[in-house]
Homo-oligomer: A and B are copies of this chain.
């Protein structure tokens, strides 16, 4: 069992990412269950615009695509900008669009039996919308979204502190994140081993 964290922060390494900080709660919960985790910060790669799994010379999406196919669990980690998922998250979704038509040896879309969740931070309101947008898109692609498979942190109303600037609300976000990790893992296990079937005609 492997969990892939795709970080959609706008900040290039080695800058600190607030949403990755919150995602560490889920990583620790997975580690305690002997689930391997990998994190890829997408903005560090040269990912070409497009909607195929390989956009040619220099495109670094193919290694992300490979990591997706190796992972039963996907966690999308994103900030909130103007109340929406980051452009990096949407670029990820566009590149994953090709997976709708990619099938395994049993004619099943490659996302079948895989599960996905979302971790969001923001210095303003918008997390529920971000979660719905990303979950809805991944559901189109074939991922199963376990109940309560997300956590978030922000402060309202109006612009406010960043996640590391305060302890306020951290406990709720962490506890919700541990539940998300558990739900992702439980449903991933329940679906493992070729559970979902190829679409009927």
A interface residues, Cβ below 8 angstroms from B: 10-12, 43, 49-51, 81-88, 90-91, 93-94, 97, 109, 111-112, 114, 124-129, 131-133, 135-137, 139-150, 152-158, 169, 172-173, 175-176, 178-179, 182-183, 186-187, 190-191, 195-197, 199-201
- Which 3 pairs across A and B sit closest by C-beta, in order of nearness? A132-B136, A83-B128, A87-B91
Closest CB-CB distance, A7 to chain B, in whole Å?
12
Q: How far is the CA of A93 from the CA of B136 in the complex (A)?
A: 17
Closest CB-CB distance, A91 to chain B, in whole Å?
4
Contacts A82-B94, A186-B196 hold; do A145 and B140 have CB atoms under 8 A apart? no
Q: Is the interface of A mostly helix, strand, loop or mixed?
A: mixed
Contacts A81-B51, A84-B90, A135-B139 hold; do A169 and B157 have CB atoms under 8 A apart? yes
Closest CB-CB distance, A106 to chain B, in whole Å?
13
Chain B residues closer than 8 Å to A43, beta-carbon distance: 49
Closest CB-CB distance, A102 to chain B, in whole Å?
13
Q: How far is the CA of A197 from the CA of B189 in the complex (A)?
A: 13
Question: Across the interface, do A195 and B186 meet the contact criterion of CB distance under 8 Å?
Answer: yes
